[in-house]
């Protein structure tokens, strides 16, 4: 359980997403934890896990605080509204299941759109690999992002990371991946705290289970956050896309076995595409050829320079020596 929690914590630290979609099914299916206890215990553990990752990004300066403030202005009140709506509607499993299916469909659509955007950017020669230090924050759009995520979290206790990441990616496409993850982790802290408070009051928290999850996930989220705050966008964005894809499939209702095979197939397909495009086996030969060419040019340059210097140094010496003085014609 500690090892599984560490894997999920690493992904959360790297991408800001996937906590609820991956941790809860793991607890239910691999360790036979009751769903209510798994959800409640995961939420309480997230209160410790997400702030730890957020603090790493704060120290690195990869959090857009203005964006976080506007998102929280929408997410926190709407999270309470979502909880109230769930109470009014009866809190039945059917209503929650419908919301989760809709969330899964939205995440899968977001994954497809993200892949399309990467492809179009690459074709136009504008791949998003450079860190943008400053963006223009749009208050109304940011409040709307928070409100949508807040009401979903209030009704289902999931989606605080994965849904927000997708909405942020399309609202602020120039936002660097490190700042994207740091901002998402930070805005999820008050959301997770509110949901965890409800779990403590009305849920079925198992503190032994929560402790095991914290022991495994907190060190791993530290490592993941450290990597995401420093690694280039070209490495972080594909991982974000993969985790969003996995979350979407799980929320859409795919079974764990089918999900595992699907993700393995997707990873193999991506690896084959990367190998076909990059051709790393040619890198060594090209590098050696380049080194030989550069060395040859350098040697030739040094030889020519040495000859010129030798001639220039010889002329003054000939002028100074009487025996080498030029005779008049």
Q: Is 187 helix (H, G, I), strand (E, B) or coil?
A: helix
The reported pLDDT for the residue numbered 311 is: 46
d(CA 172, CA 176): 9
Q: C-alpha distances in angstroms, 149 versus 88, 146, 205, 313?
A: 19, 5, 24, 77
Q: Is 247 helix (H, G, I), strand (E, B) or coil?
A: helix
The reported pLDDT for the residue numbered 5 is: 86
Task: Supply 145's token pair.
Answer: 């992002």
Q: Is residue 195 a contact partner of residue 45, using CB atoms and an 8 Å limit?
A: no
Closest-CA residue to 137 (of 125, 146, 128): 146
The separation between CA 139 and the C-alpha centre of its own chain, rounded to angstroms, equals: 23
The reported pLDDT for the residue numbered 71 is: 92
Q: Which residues of the chain have pLDDT under 50?
A: 129-130, 285, 287, 307-309, 311-314, 317-319, 321, 323-325, 329
d(CA 95, CA 100): 9
Task: Supply 307's token pair.
Answer: 């000859």
Radius of gyration of the chain measured on its C-alpha atoms: 29
d(CA 246, CA 115): 14
Q: Is residue 163 a contact partner of residue 148, using CB atoms and an 8 Å limit?
A: yes
How would you class 264 by CB atoms within 10 Å of its CB: exposed for 0-12, middle for 13-18, buried for 19 or more?
exposed
Q: Which residues in 118-127 are b (16+ Cβ under 10 Å) and which e?
A: beeeeeeeee
Q: Is residue 203 a contact partner of residue 40, using CB atoms and an 8 Å limit?
A: yes
Task: Supply 194's token pair.
Answer: 């509110």
The reported pLDDT for the residue numbered 143 is: 94
Region of residue 325 (phi > 0: left; psi between -120 and 50: alpha; otherwise: beta): beta
How would you class 10 by CB atoms within 10 Å of its CB: exposed for 0-12, middle for 13-18, buried for 19 or more?
buried
The DSSP letter of residue 131 is P
The reported pLDDT for the residue numbered 314 is: 46
d(CA 137, CA 66): 7
Q: Which residues in 281-308 are b (16+ Cβ under 10 Å) and which e?
A: eeeeeeeeeeeeeeeeeeeeeeeeeeee
């Amino acid at each position: 359980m500690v090892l599984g929690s560490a894997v999920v914590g690493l992904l959360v630290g790297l991408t800001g997403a996937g906590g609820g979609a991956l941790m809860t099914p793991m607890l239910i299916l691999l360790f036979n934890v009751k769903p209510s206890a798994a959800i409640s215990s995961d939420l309480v553990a997230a209160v410790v896990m997400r702030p730890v990752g957020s603090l790493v990004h704060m120290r690195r300066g990869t959090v857009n605080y203005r964006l976080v403030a506007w998102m929280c202005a929408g997410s926190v009140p709407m999270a309470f509204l979502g909880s109230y709506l769930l109470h009014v509607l009866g809190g039945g499993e059917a209503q929650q299941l419908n919301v989760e299916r809709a969330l899964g469909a939205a995440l899968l659509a977001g994954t497809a759109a993200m892949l399309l955007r990467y492809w179009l950017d690459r074709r136009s020669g504008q791949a998003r690999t450079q860190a943008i230090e400053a963006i223009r924050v749009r208050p109304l759009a940011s409040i709307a992002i928070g409100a949508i995520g807040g009401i979903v979290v209030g009704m289902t206790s999931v989606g605080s990371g994965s849904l927000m990441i997708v909405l942020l990616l399309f609202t602020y496409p120039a936002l660097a991946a490190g700042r994207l993850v740091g901002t998402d982790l930070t805005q999820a802290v008050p959301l997770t705290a509110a949901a965890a408070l409800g779990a403590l009051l009305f849920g079925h928290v198992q503190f032994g289970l929560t402790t095991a999850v914290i022991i495994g996930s907190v060190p791993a989220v530290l490592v993941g956050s450290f990597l995401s705050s420093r690694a280039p966008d070209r490495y972080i964005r594909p991982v974000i896309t993969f985790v969003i894809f996995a979350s979407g499939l799980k929320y859409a209702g795919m079974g764990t076995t089918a999900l595992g095979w699907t993700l393995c197939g997707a990873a193999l397909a991506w690896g084959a595409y990367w190998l076909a495009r990059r051709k790393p086996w040619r890198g060594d030969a090209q590098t050696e050829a380049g080194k030989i060419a550069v060395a040859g040019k350098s040697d030739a340059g040094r030889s020519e320079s040495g000859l010129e210097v030798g001639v220039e140094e010889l002329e003054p010496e000939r002028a100074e020596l009487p025996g080498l003085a030029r005779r008049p014609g």
